[in-house]
Amino acid sequence: MAKVTLQTIADRLGVSRATVSYAFSRPDQLSDGLRRRILEVADELGYAGPNPTARSLRLGRAGALGLIFSETLAYAFADPYAIGFFQGLATAAEDAGVGLLILPLPHGDRRSDTVRDAVVDAFCVMSLPDGHPALAEVLARRLPVVVVDEPYVPGHPFLGIDEPAAGATAARHVLELGHRRLGVAMVGLHEDGHTGWAGPERQRAATFAAMRARREGYQRACEEAGLDWRQVPFYEVARNSREAGRRAGHALLARDPRPTAILTNTDVLALGVLDAAADLGLKVPEELSVVGFSDSAAEDAGLTTIRQAKQEMGAAAGRLLLSGGTAAPERLLFPYELVVRTSTAPPRP
């Protein structure tokens, strides 16, 4: 069966191809009767409408923003930090009357064809590891680009927080309370799926720049307090899930001597550490202090954490993309703050 095109409909009605096109793209240029007849014939022939890709090429715009991030869609719609950011970005797009095309690249997915084929006007790149081929493909498209969290790309707007300072703030909190036996549980260092103990060399070699910098903040604060960072047990997990946090918590709390405070780089992991403490009958904060990061779903659990402006960052990224990135500062750092709740307290004597 021959493919039905605008010309097929035009031939059937004895009108020009442009007239048929107007029925779909510029209905105000036609009389109601003529447009109705064109749509009736299109329906009879099984024509759904102009190809959106071809139309975007003709108009020079797609009417959509592309969002690239290093996780699955299922994860993105379950992670509190990602949800907050997406809400801000989607609101900015909706206010401007454009769509949002989500392009997930789960850990280990090194493809770039999804970027090459995406029909979008601009790209928001969120949390890609160093050297990911999709980033090179994005830059080759020569569209407006905004990077969120990682990696830093000179010449393009970058949105995030001062990661080393924020990490140091979290660590200093428990150090100033008097804790000297610390443990760390982190996700998002590498793409290789490793779960287990990670020494200083593996920590420093992390391919995700933001988490590498956050960890550097932990180390800096510990060393300023006179602690030997090499003696701080560091447990790495492959997935940011509550169950992964629970496993990390059990591993850390099985150490002898047992940590009296555990730092985590997400609130989701911190909630899992709280679960592990409950499994072991440890009282929080009397026997264990726990600190999260991002202030997502943390309030109900009484979790001390670092608060990030998730939705504000998403909205700002959207506005920058819609403006074509013009007149944007190369680095736009958002404020963060330590929110102290009931999961931290001085250690028992």
* Residues in Cβ contact with 289 at an 8 Å cutoff, skipping those fewer than 6 apart: 174, 177, 179, 260, 261, 262, 304, 343, 344, 345, 347
pLDDT at 54: 45
User: Mean pLDDT over residues 191-201, rounded?
Assistant: 96
- Per-residue model confidence as pLDDT tens digits over 135-178: 999 999 899 999 999 999 998 999 999 999 999 999 999 999 99
- Per-residue model confidence as pLDDT tens digits over 227-242: 999 999 999 999 999 9
Question: In this prediction, what percent of the chain has a pLDDT beyond 70?
Answer: 94
Residue type at 271 in one-letter notation: L
Residue 152's DSSP bridge partners are none
Q: Examine residue 329 and say whether the peptide bond preceding it is cis (omega within 30 degrees of 0).
A: no
pLDDT at 258: 98
Q: How many CB atoms sit inside 10 A of residue 108's CB? A: 9
Q: Could you give the CA distance from residue 14 to residue 31 in angstroms, rounded to a whole number?
A: 16
Residue 186's DSSP bridge partners are 236
Residue 146's DSSP bridge partners are 124
Helix (H) or strand (E) holding 288: none
Q: Quick check: 293 and 153 in contact, CB under 8 A?
A: no
Q: What's the whole-model pTM score?
A: 0.82
